Amino acid sequence: MTSEGHSTPAAQGGRPWFMANELLAFVVELAALGALGWWGFVVGDGVVFRLLLAVGAPVVAAVVWGLFAAPRARFRPPLAGVLLVKAVVLGSGVYAVHAVGHPGAAVFFAGVVVVNTGLAETLRRRFASRRVT
């Protein structure tokens, strides 16, 4: 308990779920980047263009993520802006999985993205509102 009488997230038993969801968020982000690389290699015409897309698409997505959506983003737009960046980057990963010929996996991935992102934002705000400064 804090001096204000509020218990910490760890004391409430929510911290392990929060950390597990944060780990899943990281895995989802890596999966989206991997899917974009896979898509780039599959759709490109010619070896050089395929390699450029396979490397370029995930790099662009990672830079955008790092600038606007990462926990330590250089620029921190309002929540709507962060969610828009997440929707574009992670949605591009979902599209990439579908575009390479795996629509069922894309639907599953989309479900994981939506649930994980929703939980992550909800839990982050819940824990932030309980912190005593």
- What digits encode the pLDDT tens for the residues 3-16? 444 444 444 456 88
Mean pLDDT confidence for 51-75: 95
Say how far apart CA 105 and CA 99 lie, in whole Å: 11
Confidence (pLDDT) at 93: 98
For the chain, give every domain's residue range: 15-128
Task: Tell me which amino acid residue 53 is.
Answer: L
Closest CA to 89 of 109, 119, 108: 109
- Ordered alpha helix ranges (H), the chain: 15-43, 47-68, 79-99, 103-130
pTM of the model: 0.82
Q: What is the DSSP letter of 46?
A: S
**What 3-state DSSP class applies to 72?**
coil
